[in-house]
Structure 1
Amino acid sequence: MQTIIEIYNNLSIYIVGILIIIIIILLLLSFVNIKAINRLESKYRKLTRGVENSNLQELIESYMDKIDKIDNESKVVKNLYEDIHEKINKCLQNISIIRYKAFEDVGSDLSFSVALLDNNNDGVIITSIYGRNESTTYAKPIDKGISRYDLSDEEKHVLKDAVSKK
């Protein structure tokens, strides 16, 4: 026993020194951990700001519910957009008109041809021929930019002009 006490007395300075170094290292680690905890707490507060008496799980679930609702609404809006886009393609979009003198003995350019086409180049050409004694109006259907009926030069002109307006 006496030898153990003598060894302890001889090495006590070294043992105390090592213990002091360990305590300093532990204090430094404690300060680092406290700083890390403060950063995490700050991030948690930012994450849950504006939420009264809610835990993080409830907050995330409410945001996921909002995302699902917005996703459903965006699908509805997309369907509406597709319906409107389809309807717009069938609306008159390409229109051309030309006035001309059908007969030399008639004064002004009172005759006309007008092409009314949708985005698919479907529609009609309406032509009115004005003469001194009579006036005639007729229509020719257009399908994909082509008529099944023979077209006059003026009708060909308005059809070409309307198709090129795309």
Structure 2
Amino acid sequence: MNLFGYFIDTNLILIAFGLFSGVIFIFALIALIISAKANKKMKKLLNKNKGTDILAAINDYYNRCREVENNFLEADERLKRLERESGVSIKKVGTLRYDAFDENNANLSFVAALLDESDTGFIINGVYSRGNTATYLKSIREGKSIYALSDEEMQAIYIAKENYETKTKNNLR
């Protein structure tokens, strides 16, 4: 056969077209396999949505994603609020029993320190004697008080801080 001024053997042309047809057949087979897998996934998706069309399935998926996003935003807001509130809640508690006047050695007097994260809170001091019991309340701001603190009250503040540090370290493990 004479093609474009060149002599080409007919068998060579048939072999070339045969190879070309084989390659096209392989590509078509691969495309068919990919299409079958996609069709299987599509049927699975539509079965989840009770046989609705693809647009309804996509819309349902979009709505569920929006719902998850809204739930996440609400949870994030709650977390931020809890973090704000947590900073001012009582977290450090220290108590101490003692004998105020060395009268009876029964340690019937007590002091309790209740503080937040910034060591702000109050101290309750109950002083017992034979004829009288008195209770005192002293405010604490950042670990200090405008009132004079007794050794027992200072020790209760120290115990509160130590208890909190110990509890925090144990929770991090």
TM-score after normalising by structure 1: 0.76
Partner of residue 123 from structure 1, selected from 90, 100, 121: 121
Matched AA of 1:95: V
Q: Which residue of 1 aligns with 2:93?
A: 95
Name the SS for the 1:164 alignment partner.
helix
Matches within 5 A, 1:11-160: 23-160=21-158
Query: Could you list the runs of 4 or more consecutive aligned residues of structure 1 that deviate by over 3 angstroms after TM superposition?
Result: 11-33, 46-49
Matched AA of 1:152: S
* In structure 1, distance between residues paired with 2:96 and 2:160: 11
Name the SS for the 1:125 alignment partner.
strand
* In structure 1, distance between residues paired with 2:145 and 2:93: 16
Shift of 1:158: 0.4
Name the SS for the 1:78 alignment partner.
helix
CA RMSD of aligned residues (A): 2.7
When Rg is computed on C-alpha atoms for both structures, the one with the higher figure is 1
Shift of 1:163: 2.1
**49-58 or 21-30: which moved more?**
21-30
Any unmatched runs of 5+ in structure 2?
3-8, 165-173
Matched positions, count: 157
Q: Is the 8 A contact 1:115 1:124 kept in 2?
A: yes
Any unmatched runs of 5+ in structure 1?
5-10
Matched AA of 2:140: I
* In structure 1, distance between residues paired with 2:75 and 2:22: 64
Shift of 1:12: 6.2
Name the SS for the 2:48 alignment partner.
coil
Q: Residues 160 and 28 (structure 1 numbering): CA distance in 2 closer, same or farther, change over 3 Å?
A: closer
